[in-house]
A = this chain, B = another copy of it.
Amino acid sequence: MHIALLVHDRFTALDIVGPYEVLSHLPDARVDFVAEQPGPVRTDTGFLAVTADKALHEVPNPDIVVVPGGPGTFDQLKNQALLDWLRAVDATSTWTTSVCSGSLLLGAAGLLRGRRATSHWLALDLLKEFGAEPTGERVVTDGKYVTAAGVSSGIDMGLTLVGRIAGDEHAQAVQLLIEYDPQPPYDAGSPDKAPAHLVEEFRTHSRFTLV
């Protein structure tokens, strides 16, 4: 099982490290971090760089592709080299997936037309621009397209995929190994649950708009 994890300038680290931590425990997993240029790629905060070991052209036919989001997503929406790669790998992938605003990249590549999909809650409505049907679910599977909501949701997506690919028991073993028994000290992880004024503040100041 060959897994390609995309990174791009100013991606959000947990978007990709969540799925990585889960999917790398698939049987016979082979994982490549890929970017337009190999080498260190900085996250949105500037505080962290992860290494892309491969350039896009070196990973032409992964079984699974995972596309992260983050503030840098918006600069990539017109990156034809990246969109061409997404279309090319999608032609042979078993699963084409995204976390957070990464679904906008799948959308910009034309891969989500007529499909149900999700994204970070602040970016959800933008999916319509690409002909997708946004839903507020945390993990959305439509055919081979699996999209996840904001940032931390990639862990849930990863476990969902491992269950589909390797069976429930293998997924449960991975969940136990990464001790994923979440106990957040607050219950504010979605716009339906968080204090309304926080949701409003984010909506007012969000730069999640298509330029």
Contact = CB atoms under 8 A, between A and B. Distances in A.
Q: How many chain copies? A: 2
Given A17-B14, A172-B188, A175-B188, A181 B31 contact: no
Given A48-B31, A198-B172, A184 B186 contact: no
A144 to B, nearest CB: 18
Contact of A169 (B40, B120, B198): B198
Interface residue tally on A, bucketed by range: 35 or more
A194 B178 contact: no
Given A169-B195, A176-B191, 12 more contacts: A17-B48, A33-B48, A40-B51, A49-B53, A50-B50, A51-B51, A152-B182, A160-B185, A171-B188, A172-B198, A173-B201, A181-B190
